[in-house]
A and B are shown apart, each in its own frame.
Chain A
Amino acid sequence: MKLFRWKAVVPLVLVLAVLVIGWTLFADHLLRKGIEAGGTAAVGAEVDLASARIHLLRGNVTLRGLQVTNPDSPMTNLVQLDEIVAQIALKPLLEKKVVVDTVAIRGVRFNTPRKRSGAIPHPAPAPSRASQNALQWAQSVRIPGLDLSGLGQVQQIINVRPDSLQSLREARALAARADSTKTDFEAELRSADPSPVADSAQALAARLRGQTPRSLGVQGTRDAIASVQRVLGQVRSSRDRLNGLKSRVDTGVAALRAGAATMDRARQADYAYAQQLVRIPSLSAPDISMALFGKLAVAKVKPVLYWLNLAEQYIPPGMRPQPNPGPERARMAGVTVTFPKAHTWPTFLLRHADASLTLGGEGAAAGDYGAWIEGVTTQPAVYGGPLRFAAQRTAAAKGPRQLRVAGLVDRSKPSPHDSVDALVSGVAFPAADIDVAGARLEFPDNTVNFALDRRGDGLSGLLHITAPSVHWVRMSGDTAAAASAPLGSKAWVEGLAWRAVSSVKDLDLSIRFSGRPDAPALDVTSNVGAAVSSALTREVGAEVQRVQARARAKVDSLVNQQVAAARAKLTAVQTDIQGRVAAQQQRLQDAQAELERKLQDLGQVVPGVRLPGIPRLKP
């Protein structure tokens, strides 16, 4: 029986030829459908492509008539591109990797009308992790109010519940830690007790005091030197153990000191809590700025966190295998794992793209733009370099006078580094409602500086907005009613805040965010906040200070005893354990010095002359 059926070769070749012809006929169609389906899933609204053409031998892909629907406005395109020509490297395709050498984009238009709605039947997929994280952060930011109604209730007893005080909890924890640290170190000190070694060293030194090589003789000197060296070895070993213990004690005491600092910060938080109970806000300029512009600041920083989270999700650092959902098919999709390797092609790489475009029309975006981007990849660690981009407006028809942005996203190393710098001048922001002042801020001509720097788990950013001639519009209340309103009432606060803010003509607002990238702390300062702060301080500063002092005194009366006890225990650890360790160290050091001197004396009959047969000295 023959193993091969050679006559089946021709039909098999025919089948393969049919497959190749099928690919040639349908590849363009499949690419178009793939881009439309992938784009629609990513955007959450229809993405349409008029045509796609693959020239596989030339490594060239041409897409024409790309329309990306705005998910928030389905009759409008977010962006419409007439033609995209991409030059693709062929060899990486054999590894199922797409490396785009260059991209040229022609005919870019934004916000163009659509002939039909681009809404999709199920447009509300579960919010992405990035958007959920950003939303959680926005909801967690505490924006203080300007409620001064407590000024009329100063005679009331401040009802502070001890179990709500953070400093009490911290004090108890610190005391417990100090106790346990002291017990542990006392046990260690007992087990490493150097007294026997120190006693024996001192006894030996005393025995040899007044003795010379002459009085001891050769054998006696030799024995004495051996004894000294043996005891010195024990002393050095004890000192090493004691040094190790000292280092651990120092670390433990430093941790306890950090606990004490946390306790102090908790006390400040308790003061703020007590002030809240009597409805007296802080009148400091940063707190007032936060009260005035907190909502605006959160709205501006939230998209930044969203993009950072998105970069984290789609551009992961490192070289670990990455699991992703498998392709959709009749069979189970499973999980597709990519195995990155250094110095190879990443699964997707856009080496360089240049865009030069003109936006027409009468909108604020009308003008000429130039932009470039390089190193766009899904596996930055494999690519080994950062994504860099820059864009600027080269000529403006309307809208911002100046617009430039540059940045890098470096995920090629385990610790990510992102940096963005942007400047926009002449930009108009939508009017912002400043509720606590019952006012609306209109700032039509702003200069915005934005800087962001993220290194590893540390993020710092600044959004600085300056506007030369802002306009304030009173939204609620009136000046006459505010004048007759009771001290501290909402109308009174609004009236006072209105008088303060309406006198500010030039806005200077800084929004700083720093800390962990998923939950940065927000800090707002502004000249408007400073003006309101000084007005409030002038009007009710003394009264507020009196109430605040009462609130602080109430907190102090509840926590002072526990805090003092915790501090005493910390001091005990410091003075007792550290002191004992230091004393033991000193004793051993003295004994060692004396023995070394004696060793030196025994080693020579007269200076420079050694006795024969005396062992080598090891100082």
Chain B
Amino acid sequence: MIFLKLLQSIISTLNSEGTPRQTAAGFALGAALGLTPLVNVHNLLVFAAACLLNVSFGGFLLGWTVFVPVGFALDPLFHAVGLALLQAPALTGFWTALYNTPGVPLTNFNNSVVLGSFVSWVVLWLPIFFLSKWLVTKYRAHVYERLKKMKFFQALSASKLFNYYRMFRPRVP
């Protein structure tokens, strides 16, 4: 059921829900959950942002789903980036101050994979946003027209489960 709901929301997102800009923003936010280790405080903030900001929640879920395997695959790279940052002599004072600030250590920023993946996500946020925006626009213009004539697609869109998703549906101008 969860899978079905996810699939439905992703299809709706790509096809009609929200503007490509809202979908891309949700997608780029969702990339954080996929790229960085899930159980961390910063992901709670990203999740809250995805809920509270007027971005596509379906896009958020799609971004999460797409970037989970990417995150696993790039872990060695994230580790190298994070370790280089954590062990950079110039940054030792900064990390020491952060590490001894109440609340901050709960983010696990001092773990090489968490820091490396988070920094990578921050750096990649804009490229992901623009790339996904371009892809959604192209998809809607070329692929959607063919897809909406398929019976499976029509059945999925009509499902009542779709209603649950409406709560987080972006507000379209």
Q: List A residues at the B interface (Cβ < 8 Å).
A: 1-9, 11-12, 15, 91, 94-97, 321, 323, 326-327, 329-341, 344
Contact = CB atoms under 8 A, between A and B. Distances in A.
B74 to A, nearest CB: 10
A337 B83 CA distance: 9
Contacts of A9: 52
B99 A338 contact: yes
Contacts of B113: 326, 331-334
Contacts of B86: 321, 335, 337
A323 B100 CA distance: 16
A478 to B, nearest CB: 69
Contacts of A1: 54, 171-173
The majority secondary structure among interface residues of chain B is helix
Interface in B50-88: 51-54, 71-72, 75-76, 78-79, 82-83, 86-87
Chain B interface size, as a band, is 35 or more
Given A95-B105, A329-B37, A5 B168 contact: yes
Contact of B95 (A6, A96, A339): A339
B112 A95 contact: no
B100 A336 contact: no
B167 interface: yes
B79 A334 contact: yes
B53 A338 contact: no
A5 B54 contact: yes
A95 B171 contact: no
A323 B78 CA distance: 16
Interface of B: 37, 39, 47-48, 51-54, 71-72, 75-76, 78-79, 82-83, 86-87, 92, 95-96, 98-106, 108, 110-114, 116, 167-168, 170-173
Given A7-B167, A8-B51, A339 B111 contact: no
Given A1-B172, A15-B47, A95-B102, 15 more contacts: A1-B171, A5-B168, A5-B171, A11-B51, A12-B51, A94-B103, A95-B105, A96-B105, A96-B106, A321-B87, A335-B79, A339-B99, A339-B110, A341-B96, A341-B99
Nearest to A320: B92
Contacts of B37: 329, 331
A339 to B, nearest CB: 4
A1 B106 CA distance: 35
B99 A332 contact: no
The majority secondary structure among interface residues of chain A is loop
B111 A331 contact: no
26 contacts: A2-B54, A2-B171, A3-B53, A3-B54, A4-B52, A5-B51, A8-B52, A11-B167, A12-B52, A95-B100, A95-B103, A95-B104, A96-B105, A326-B113, A329-B37, A330-B72, A331-B37, A332-B78, A333-B113, A334-B82, A334-B116, A335-B79, A335-B112, A339-B98, A340-B96, A341-B100
B101 A332 contact: no
Given A331-B72, A334-B112, A337-B112, A5 B96 contact: no
Given A91-B102, A334-B79, A339-B95, A5 B111 contact: no
B34 to A, nearest CB: 11
Nearest to B51: A8
A95 B52 contact: no
Contacts of A337: 83, 86-87, 95, 110, 112
Nearest to A95: B105
B105 A321 contact: no
> Could you say which of A4, A6, A321 has the most chain B C-beta atoms within 10 Å of its C-beta?
A321
Nearest to B112: A334
A338 B98 CA distance: 11
Contacts of A341: 96, 99-100
Contacts of B71: 331
A59 to B, nearest CB: 15
A289 B95 CA distance: 56
Contacts of A336: 108, 110-112
B76 A4 contact: no
A327 to B, nearest CB: 8
A337 B82 CA distance: 10
A338 B52 contact: no
Contact of A5 (B52, B82, B98, B108): B52
A161 B88 CA distance: 55
Contacts of A4: 52-54
A493 B69 CA distance: 74
A6 B48 CA distance: 11
Contacts of B108: 336
Contacts of A333: 113
Contacts of B101: 95
A94 B37 CA distance: 20
Contact of A335 (B53, B102, B111, B171): B111
Given A11-B51, A331-B75, A326 B111 contact: yes
A94 B47 CA distance: 22
Given A326-B113, A341-B100, A335 B83 contact: yes
A95 B108 CA distance: 10
A96 B79 CA distance: 21
A344 B106 contact: no
Contacts of B172: 1
A96 B103 CA distance: 8
A257 to B, nearest CB: 42
Nearest to B117: A331
Given A3-B54, A334-B113, A321 B95 contact: yes
